[in-house]
Amino acid sequence: MARSVTTQRKAINTAIAWAIGLLIFFPILWTILTSFKTEGQAIASPPIFLNFDWTLENYAIVQERSNYMRFLWNSVIIAGGSTLLGIVIAVPAAWSMAFVPGKWTKDILLWMLSTKMLPAVGVLYPIYLLFVRMGILDSRVGLVIIMMLINLPIIVWMLYTYFKEIPSEILEAARMDGATLKDEIIHVLTPMAIPGIASTVLLNFILAWNEAFWTLNLTSVNAAPLTAFIASYSSPEGLFYAKLSAASTMAIAPILILGWFSQKQLVSGLTFGAVK
């Protein structure tokens, strides 16, 4: 009896999980389906789900009108570069906060997080002027720096949380064996925190990939990433829904595939230390 209840409960839980999963995935599915419709079918009322003449015309138009590979390459450089630079800076910062906490460590952590609460538009003009003066407007270098700075608080917080789960005795033992600070961080701490670092890298890569305020406002031609690619197909006056959906599908495809293959690391990292 008990086993049957458990099986029934499992089935219900599975069904609920699938329902929630499909609900969350539905907008993406709808975008993908719309990308294969004509503009007329895309706005049909009632909406057409699957029963339409599938076409690749929107993808052909998008390919003809935009240099997709240039946008994609910029996205890869900006998201990858900012994440790696952020990790390089955040690992020592998180190490010091986790293993050598000072009187103000918690205040500093909270202050770092509070910078995320500032509306980005509030600092647009100062940042824009700085970029103009430094000559890094519409450059990948500029975008890598700004994206790294934006995501740094999250990277430090995540790494700090993971590092706190590592017993400090292990690091002390390494020091007893003569490890320098550099050895301690690179050869002892980092390998032990790999799941946490991996999930931090993945999450921040996704955040940087999807960021659409700074990437739209600080780029024009040379450094414009996929967010600018999508924005060029949105219009309040004229029907571009099917083409916009095709552009969106092309923009999210790489990150969707990356997320699919790395979901195991992502989940294990995010739940790292959750169960003691």
**What is the contact surface with other proteins in residues (CB under 8 A)?**
39-40, 43-45, 65, 124-125, 128-129, 132, 137-138, 216-217, 220-221, 224, 228, 231-240
Q: Which residues of 172-183 are buried (b: 16+ CB within 10 A; e: fewer)?
A: eebeeeebeeee
Beta strands in 205-258 (DSSP E): none
224 within 8 A of 137, measured Cβ to Cβ: no
Among residues 5 and 121, whose Cβ is nearest to other proteins?
121
Q: How far is the CB of 208 from other proteins (least distance, A)?
A: 19
Among residues 15 and 239, whose Cβ is nearest to other proteins?
239
Q: What are phi and psi of 144, to 5 degrees?
A: -60, -45
Among residues 53 and 169, whose Cβ is nearest to other proteins?
53
Q: How far is the CB of 122 from other proteins (least distance, A)?
A: 13
Peptide bond into 92 cis (omega under 30): no
Q: How far is the CB of 128 from other proteins (least distance, A)?
A: 5
CA 114/CA 158 separation, integer angstroms: 15
Question: CA dihedral defined by 39, 43, 48, 52, rounded to 10 degrees?
Answer: -10
Among residues 157 and 240, whose Cβ is nearest to other proteins?
240
Q: How far is the CB of 45 from other proteins (least distance, A)?
A: 6
Q: How far is the CB of 43 from other proteins (least distance, A)?
A: 4
Among residues 38 and 190, whose Cβ is nearest to other proteins?
38
